[in-house]
Amino acid sequence: MSFAISTLEQGLVYGIMALGVYISFKIINFADLTVEGSFTLGAAVTAKLITSGVNPIFSIMVSFLAGGLAGLITGFLNTKLKITELLAGILTMTALYSINLRIMGKSNIPMLSNKSILDYFSFAGNYRNILFFGLIMIFLVLLTNYFLQTRTGFALRATGNNQQMVRSMGINTNTTITLGLIISNAYISLAGSLVSQYQGFADAGMGIGTLVAGLASVIIGEVLFRERNILWAVISAVVGSIVYRGAIAVALTIGFNPTDLKLLTAILVVIALSLPGLKKIVLSSN
């Protein structure tokens, strides 16, 4: 029972990061490598503020805005300075590593003795984390689904599909790309903020591997939900996160070394990417 609860908790909280990765990689079709920096940024800002006596709710809000600012910088480097998307993300991610250390003042900040947002849900007992993360996830899924079906959201989706067509309609693609990156990294920073409170600490290296984990969640979700509308596409990223965390938990349970997790993640991504092609081969052979 505790295994299932822990897997669901991690799947939900990291699902927020998966939503952010989904927006950048799938909606605006931007290979954004800022993820690993903005995830840690959310954790660093939250840890610093909470240990300084700031209310956890306010700390989360500041982390959310800080992540949006990181996305804005990447968007500026790409759209205004004409730096390629991969290099723009790498530059922001690299700069954020030093910025995060500056914010924290050291490489690790423990928060076990400080009040977190999860303490407000202590009435739920052992299910407090699932209740809080579940409520946050439902809100973000509905909000994301609503936004992506507005005119602005449609412009973002169209930008990811065909930038030339969007420009011919008089839409500024520089604006839509930057907006998508702001929203994506704000979500990812929010995930970092909540993960740091869930784990009870913030670490300068906690963002390492989050990009691949987020991509794995999105890809796994796509495999599970092949035919879908926008709502199901958003939900699939969250479900993919839960499945991914479950697979990692099972791997650790059966004896895999924690140092093998990155390798396991890479294998999961390869398998998930290969499934559609393998399915076509099987069907054609029959």
List the single range of 1-10, 78-87, 89-98 with lowest mean pLDDT: 1-10
Segment 157-166 shows an average pLDDT of: 91
Check residue 283 and give its pLDDT.
Answer: 54
3-state secondary structure 110-125: ECCCCCCHHHHHHHHH
Strand runs (DSSP E) across 136-233, as ranges?
Answer: 201-203
276 — pLDDT class (breaks 50, 70, 90): low
CA-nearest of 170, 234, 242 to 7 is 242
Predicted confidence at residue 34, as pLDDT, reads 96
What tokens appear for 167 in the block?
A: 């420009």
Residue 168: CB atoms within 10 A of its CB come to 9
pLDDT of 255 = 80
Q: How far apart are CA 206 and CA 195, in angstroms?
A: 10
Q: How far is CA 165 from the centre of its chain?
A: 29
pLDDT value at 35 more than 80: yes
Those residues whose C-beta lies under 8 Å from the C-beta of residue 42, and which sit 6 or more positions away, are 63, 64, 66, 67, 188, 189, 190, 191, 192, 193, 196
Closest CA to 14 of 243, 273, 255, 268: 243
Specify the pTM. Answer: 0.93
pLDDT, mean over the chain: 90
| Alpha-carbon gap, residue 35 to 190, rounded angstroms | 12
Q: Which pLDDT belongs to residue 62?
A: 97
For residue 42, what pLDDT is reported?
Answer: 97
Q: What is the pLDDT of residues 84-129, one digit of tens each?
A: 999 999 999 999 999 999 999 999 999 988 999 999 999 988 899 9
- Return d(Cα 179, Cα 201) in angstroms, integer: 30
pLDDT digits (tens, 9 = 90+) for 217-258: 998 888 887 667 888 889 999 999 999 898 888 888 888 887
